[in-house]
């Protein structure tokens, strides 16, 4: 099913309502753009944000075993346990802003057994190292896309109309860099950053490893093949979830570099997703600004964050609420009896 572009008939009415609030035209800056976009998505002059959710997808990466990260692979499952026990940044921020949190095992190299409070959507126990072979089969990539879509359908049935996406996976900045290069043709070295905080020598090694992987595998011919060659299960599942959220005409909140790489793949599959996406922040990861520029995306925040987990979505959410609230609650010149600008 294709994503449907919202009907443009409401745009003039939306802009008129925004412009007639008791303020100079454009004085609320990006809040006005957000209010317009959300009203456009919902086809309403009185949009609402209901039951906000953030999904954190977790997966392990074979490429992490090649020395591209400052942390060992087992940190992925350890951080998932931290999410489940409420100790991570995303737990704190989601609780603060009354956002429901779903933690999804898309492909962690760990058996969580009967651990409560997480969703088992595991495709496999981590990907293979794309330095030597494709990260996953095309069939498994399609399974990940489908599972991501199903998760969003389940959340949508609850009445949710705004959903954010985060991730956890040691080595996943390497995957995101490869996806970015293959899908944008931006030089690979410009796509590679420090990830979890590698030093200069480790960064040089990371560039060397990813360059060798590109030499071995090349640039695949399709988005699905690119995802299967260089992706992670959490990135591919997030891509499928983003596509489905847009198909269901939900507001799609995009987090940082990894989430934007998943969005990039979704965008290449169906460009109509751009109408539904709000980019929450500019990550401090090197390639993110270039990727945002490529997508012509204007992020809400720039706080030098690079944690992932959906933290940018959670921090930006009250600003999104402010955009909706001013549209719905702020007086117009007419209702307040305030004189408008003299022509």
DSSP 149-161: HHHHHHHHTTT--
**From residue 95, how far is each of 2, 134, 154, 278, 311 by CA, in Å?**
34, 38, 21, 21, 11
Q: Count CA atoms within 13 Å of residue 250 on its CB side.
A: 30
Of the listed 2, 309, 334, 340, which one is catalytic? 309
Burial state string for 104-139 with b = 16 or more CB within 10 A and e = fewer than 16: bbbbbbbebeeeeebeebbbbebbbbbbeebbbeee
CA distance 44 to 23: 21
Q: Which residue in 286, 300, 288 sits closest to 262, CA to CA?
A: 288
Task: Enter the DSSP assignment of 283.
Answer: -
Partners of 279 in beta bridges: 254
Q: Which residue has the tokens 């360059």?
A: 211
Contact by Cβ (8 Å): 298, 32? no
Q: Is 2 a catalytic residue?
A: no
Sign, CA torsion 131/136/141/147: negative
**Cβ-based neighbour number of residue 307 at 10 Å:** 17
Active site residues: 309
């Amino acid at each position: 099913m294709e994503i449907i572009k919202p009907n443009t008939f409401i745009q003039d009415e939306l802009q008129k309502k925004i412009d007639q609030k008791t303020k100079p035209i454009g004085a609320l800056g990006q809040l006005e753009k957000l209010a317009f976009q959300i009203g456009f998505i919902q086809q309403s002059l009185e949009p609402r944000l209901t039951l906000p959710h953030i999904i954190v997808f977790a997966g392990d990466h074979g490429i992490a075993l090649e020395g591209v990260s400052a942390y060992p692979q087992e940190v992925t499952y350890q951080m998932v346990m931290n999410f489940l026990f409420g100790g991570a940044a995303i737990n704190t921020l989601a609780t603060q802003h009354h956002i429901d949190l779903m933690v999804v095992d898309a492909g962690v190299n760990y058996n969580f057994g009967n651990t409560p409070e997480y969703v088992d959507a595991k495709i496999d126990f981590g990907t293979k190292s794309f330095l030597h072979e494709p990260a996953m089969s095309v069939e498994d990539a399609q399974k990940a896309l489908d599972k991501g879509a199903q998760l969003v359908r389940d959340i949508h049935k609850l009445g949710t109309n705004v959903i954010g996406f985060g991730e956890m996976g040691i080595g996943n900045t390497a995957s995101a860099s490869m996806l970015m290069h293959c899908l944008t043709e931006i030089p690979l070295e410009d796509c590679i950053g420090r990830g979890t905080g590698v030093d200069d020598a480790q960064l040089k090694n990371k560039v060397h490893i990813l360059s060798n992987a590109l030499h071995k595998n090349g640039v695949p011919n399709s988005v699905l093949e690119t995802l299967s060659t260089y992706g992670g299960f959490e990135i591919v599942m997030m891509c499928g979830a983003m596509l489905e959220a847009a198909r269901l005409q939900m507001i799609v909140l995009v987090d940082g570099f990894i989430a934007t790489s998943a969005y990039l793949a979704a965008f290449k599959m169906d460009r109509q997703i751009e109408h539904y996406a709000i980019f929450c922040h500019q990550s401090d990861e090197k390639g993110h600004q270039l990727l945002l520029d490529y997508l012509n995306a204007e992020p809400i925040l720039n706080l030098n964050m690079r944690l992932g987990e959906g933290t940018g979505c959670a921090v930006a959410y009250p600003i999104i609420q402010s955009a909706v609230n001013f549209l719905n609650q702020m007086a117009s010149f007419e209702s307040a009896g305030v004189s408008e600008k003299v022509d």
